Chain A
């Protein structure tokens, strides 16, 4: 079965520290997609990144970077020089197709609550 595990329930860091959020997934599909979302206190999930299973290149976007490793079924997310505004719940997700339809659904991890203290 498809599964996403975010073993870190809560992480607390001091501003300017680097922090890595772990994500491990299980899937039988040979082609799949992985995602990261951010949920600030306001509640709205904000899409951060999508990664295809056939593209293992790491990606950097400003202070954010993602490390995708198929060999360990991991898709970790690092925030460099964290800021108070990074405080949020972060979700990792895996896509799963829905039967014969063209629509997929996302399997979400439990989420990691990141608190960045000033």
Chain B
């Protein structure tokens, strides 16, 4: 595997379900990010992790819970979501030095029914 991978690629879940999105980077980076991209909206930064420590929580509802067990893996745990949470969720990584380009995964297309 190379670059940034995300699983699953597509997910349909009910509002009472609990699911997790997984991201893995194979680039040796130390910072990882979750973004949300809704239809006709700009990319919204959700969380930033640097050296496995959360350094940014962009006012995200608690029904989204991130986890970064090591610098290569990032999870987004989902529970009791709303239909408006349906979106493309993108993971990215970059070098710890920040201000450098981020490399994105292919995204998880989430549909909440």
25 pairs across A/B with beta carbons < 8 Å? A32-B99, A37-B104, A43-B90, A44-B106, A44-B107, A45-B90, A47-B101, A91-B43, A95-B98, A95-B99, A98-B50, A98-B56, A99-B55, A101-B50, A101-B55, A101-B98, A102-B97, A103-B31, A103-B50, A103-B55, A103-B56, A105-B45, A105-B48, A106-B102, A111-B42
B15 nearest CB across to chain A (Å): 24
A interface, CB within 8 angstroms of B: 32-33, 35, 37, 42-47, 50, 91, 95, 97-99, 101-106, 108-111
A104-B99, A105-B48 as given contacts; A43 in contact with B106, CB under 8 Å: yes
Cβ-based interface call for B109 (8 A) = yes
CA separation between A95 and B101, bound complex, in Å? Answer: 9
B110 nearest CB across to chain A (Å): 12
Cβ-based interface call for B105 (8 A) = yes
Let me know if A43 and B43 touch, CB within 8 A: no
Please name the residue on chain A nearest to B53 by beta carbon: A101
Let me know if B106 and A42 touch, CB within 8 A: yes
Let me know if A105 and B33 touch, CB within 8 A: yes
A43-B107, A103-B50, A105-B48 as given contacts; A97 in contact with B99, CB under 8 Å: yes
| Chain B contacts for A109, CB-based, 8 A | 42
Let me know if B101 and A50 touch, CB within 8 A: yes
Let me know if B102 and A47 touch, CB within 8 A: yes
CA separation between A95 and B31, bound complex, in Å? Answer: 14
